[in-house]
Amino acid sequence: MTASTGAVVVYQGRFDADLPDVDGLRVFDDWSLIPQRLDELERAKQVVVLDPMSFPIESLSESAWEVPLAVAVPESMPLDGLAGALGEALFDRLTYHDLVIVGDDVLWDALARRHRFAAAQRLDFGPADVRGAVAWLVEHGGQMPNAAGTATQQQRDRAAKARFVLEAGAVAPSLVELVVRTPEGMQPHALLVGCGGGPWLRALLARGYTVVGFDGQESLVQEAGINYPDLEVRHLGPGLRMEVGTERFDLALGVWALGGLEQVEQVRLLRQMWQAVRPGGMLVVLDRFVPEDDAGWLPVKQLMEVVSEASAGHVILEDVQARRILGQPHHGFAAVTFVKIGPPEMMR
C-alpha cells in the first residue's frame, strides 16, 4: 500500500468550483492533473471527483483505486448516458467505502438499483452545493454518512478500503468462475456468512448475485437492513443454526466466520453451508491462516479436517488465493475454494 500524504485531493476538472479554504486540500483541474502528477492521487487520504466526465479513470493505478473516492454525479445527464459513460468504468468499480454525491432522490434510487449501491454510500449534496459536499468530506471524510447527512462510526479510511480491496481480490477469481458456469439467463445465488453491514453484500450484488446473508453481530444485521432493505439478512445466533434449506445456492461464502469458533462449531456451520450448496457449486472460506495453532487464527490443517468432515469427503479443493496481511508480514489470509461433488438431490 502506498504511503498517504494525509491530503484531501479534489479534482474539479473543467469547473471553477467554489471550494472551502481549508488546510490540507489539494485542488486540480483538467490541465494541472497531468500524467506526471497522478501519484498525487495514489498518496491522497481521499479523492473527491467533482467532474467525473474528464477524470482520468483509465490512467489510475491499482494503488489509486485503494484510496476512498467521493464522486459527484452529473445530474443533468440521463441515466442511460451516465451508465454508458461512467457505469462500467467507474461506478461498477466503486466499493462500499466510496461515496456517491447526488442530491436528486429519483436519480439516486435509479443509480442504486442499477449499480447496487448501499444506502450508506450516498452523500446528499446536489450540484448547487459543491462547497458543502467538500466541506463535509474534509471534516468527516474518514466516516460514512447516514440518511440524515451526519457522520456515523463506520470507517471509510484508506486502510479499511485497501484491506477490503485485498480481500475481495482474493475471492474474485472464484466469483468470476462461478458466474461463467451459471447457465445463461440465470442469476447465481449466494449464501454469505459473515456478511457485515454492507461491503461484501455490495461486492456480490454488483457481480449479479442474489444474496442471503448472516452475521453474528446484531448491529451489523441492522446496518445491512438499512443499506439493502430488500435483502434477506439474518442474525446468526449462538446456536449457529441457519435453516436455509438444501441445494439452494451456487455459492456459500464464509468471511472471517470460522477463526473464533471451536472446531465442533466450525463443523456445524460448514455442514449447513455445504448442504445449502448445489453439486458443482462452491464453498469459499476467507479467513486468517497459519501453519500451526495460534490464538485467533485458523490452522490450515484444521480447515481441511473441518471441511472434509462437514462434507463427508464429497469435496474437491479447487483454488487457494493467499495474501499477506498489511503490516503483518508473518501472517496472511486466503480464500480457499472447494467444489461440491455428487449427484443433485433435487432439480434446479
The rounded mean pLDDT for the chain is 88
**302-340 tens-digit pLDDT:** 888 999 999 988 889 999 898 876 666 666 788 999 999
Angle at 283 between CA 344 and CA 162, to 5 degrees: 155
Closest CA to 87 of 48, 49, 53: 53
Query: What is the pLDDT at residue 149?
Result: 67
Residue 296 or residue 229, greater confidence: 229
Q: Does the pLDDT of residue 348 top 50, yes or no?
A: no
- Return the CA Rg of the chain: 21
Q: What is the pTM of this model?
A: 0.89
Query: What is the pLDDT at residue 142?
Result: 83
d(CA 276, CA 332): 28
User: Do the first three CATH levels of 8-155 and 161-340 match, i.e. the same topology?
Assistant: yes
d(CA 193, CA 196): 9
**237-266 tens-digit pLDDT:** 888 999 898 999 999 999 999 878 889 999
d(CA 230, CA 310): 31
In which band, very low, low, confident or very high, does the pLDDT at 51 lie, cut at 50, 70 and 90? very high
Q: Region 206-220: what's the mean pLDDT?
A: 93
Query: What is the pLDDT at residue 2?
Result: 56
**106-117 tens-digit pLDDT:** 999 999 999 999
Query: What is the pLDDT at residue 179?
Result: 81
CATH annotation of 8-155 = 3.40.50
**CA 154 → CA 199, 227, 312, distances in Å?**
11, 13, 40
Query: What is the pLDDT at residue 24?
Result: 78
What is the share, in percent, of the chain residues with pLDDT greater than 90?
58
In which band, very low, low, confident or very high, does the pLDDT at 22 lie, cut at 50, 70 and 90? confident
Query: What is the pLDDT at residue 274?
Result: 95
CATH for 161-340, among 2.40.110.10, 3.40.50.150, 1.20.120.160, 3.50.50.60? Answer: 3.40.50.150
**61-119 tens-digit pLDDT:** 998 999 999 999 999 999 999 999 999 999 999 999 999 999 999 999 999 999 999 99
Identify any residues that bridge with 325 across adjacent strands, giving them in sequence order: 328
What is the share, in percent, of the chain residues with pLDDT greater than 70?
92
Can you give the residue ranges of every domain in the chain?
8-155, 161-340
Residue 133: φ, ψ to 5°: -65, -45
Q: How many CB atoms lie within 10 A of CB 138?
A: 19
Q: Does the pLDDT of residue 12 top 50, yes or no?
A: yes
Burial class (CB in 10 A: 0-12, 13-18, 19+), 343: exposed
Residue 336 near residue 254, CB atoms below 8 Å: no
d(CA 251, CA 234): 17
Q: Region 284-296: what's the mean pLDDT?
A: 72
In which band, very low, low, confident or very high, does the pLDDT at 144 lie, cut at 50, 70 and 90? confident
Identify any residues that bridge with 71 across adjacent strands, giving them in sequence order: 49, 100
**150-175 tens-digit pLDDT:** 777 778 888 889 899 999 999 999 99
Query: What is the pLDDT at residue 331?
Result: 66
Task: Retrieve residue 96's grid coordinates.
Answer: 462500499
Q: Which amino acid is at 259?
A: G
Residue 204 near residue 178, CB atoms below 8 Å: no
